Amino acid sequence: MRMNILAPLRRRQRDQGQNGSSVALATTLGLLGLISLLLGIAEGYLAAVMIGSVIGVVGSFHYLFGAGRAFSFALANLIGTYACIFLFFAQSNFDRVGPVGLSIGFLMPLPAFVLGSLRRRGDIQKVILARRFQDERRFARVLLWLAPVFVIGVLTFLVPHGPGMEHMQLALLLIGMALVSTIVFCVSHDVAVFLLDTELLFAAFFRRIARLIVPAFAFLTFYSLLVILFASLYTIADYAAAPNFRIDGAARALSFPEALYFSLTTLSTVGYGDISPATNLARFISAIEIVCGILLLLFGFNEIFDFAQERRQRNHAAGEVPAKHAD
């Protein structure tokens, strides 16, 4: 019976392509790894617990509910956001709790979310197969349920600090996370449906991005050629006359890597100031490059969007032809 229920979901997964979920998950795990390095916990096993939880929860939803790659991406990044918030409160208000206690506290809401979703499994699978947006009031209910979670987070700033508070902080952490887990269990169905709506938005976004790959690549190619062209002009100008630039306050000739860097910052109109034109010739060439950069951005983006619009119209017209013949 279970296989009969999941069969259409498995077919939809195959239609979407299984590699998409792996790429989305790998991207999220990479971001979590960077977060771990930023917070200085990459040496401990709390980072492994955090990353392992993403694999476990996303894998469970992918298998039990037949969720697509965009849903996996949204869910994985939701857990990543939760990890950042949890670690912020952990380091701010539970500085005496060890890695084991923090790991337990972090994990508590995740099985609650899975179990709460399983409680309404049939409804969630119907939403997955429906492939349409659900009632927007569902999101309002999620925000309403988040209010007590916010209150719990605010109350953690009253947790006592200092020596001898290890057991007190651990107990308060586990009590707070138990309350959060209860809330997550109750609201998990609405959260899952909200993420399914997010999947539809992600899928539409990725389709639009795919249509822009070719014109965007052409734009970046032309952009790169301009950077190299003006970098060459700067280098030639330095060979032809006295040093035309000041680098960290000293007048000297540009190397070609420095010319590329200055050309890129000038074309993008960033201008960090570590390299500046020191002669009228260099200022004149820089002014031309700035104008070219502005024009390229204006006309380049316009051409990209026009290309995408024309392609969408051609695809729409091609899709209408068979229907007319069918009539």
36 pLDDT higher than 70: no
pLDDT reported for residue 138:
58
Q: Which residue type does 48 have?
A: A
Q: Domain 214-326 classified CATH 3.40.50.10470?
A: no
Residue 121 vs residues 16, 60, 116, 186: alpha-carbon distances, Å:
22, 12, 9, 14
Give the predicted TM-score (pTM) of the model.
0.60
pLDDT digits (tens, 9 = 90+) for 85-142: 888 888 889 988 888 888 899 999 999 988 988 887 777 766 666 655 555 555 666 6
Q: Higher confidence at residue 58 or residue 44?
A: 58
Q: Higher confidence at residue 17 or residue 139?
A: 139
3-state secondary structure the chain: CHHHHHHHHHHHHHHHCCHHHHHHHHHHHHHHHHHHHHHCCCCCCHHHHHHHHHHHHHHHHHHHCCCCHHHHHHHHHHHHHHHHHHHHHHHHHCCCCCHHHHHHHHHCHHHHHHHHHHHCHHHHHHHHHHCCCCCCHHHHHHHHHHHHHHHHHHHHHHCCCCCCCHHHHHHHHHHHHHHHHHHHHHHHHHHHHHHHHHHHHHHHHHHHHHHCHHHHHHHHHHHHHHHHHHHHHHHHHHHHCCCCEEECCEEECCCHHHHHHHHHHHHCCCCCCCEEECCHHHHHHHHHHHHHHHHHHHHHHHHHHHHHHHHHHHHHHHHHHHHHHHC
Domain boundaries along the sequence of the chain:
2-209, 214-326
Q: Higher confidence at residue 199 or residue 48?
A: 48
Phi-psi region of 66 (alpha: psi -120 to 50; beta: other; left: phi over 0): left
pLDDT digits (tens, 9 = 90+) for 246-256: 898 888 888 88
Residue 169 pLDDT grade (very low, low, confident, very high; cuts 50, 70, 90): very high
Q: In what order do the strands lie in the sheet with 275-277?
A: 250-252, 245-247, 275-277
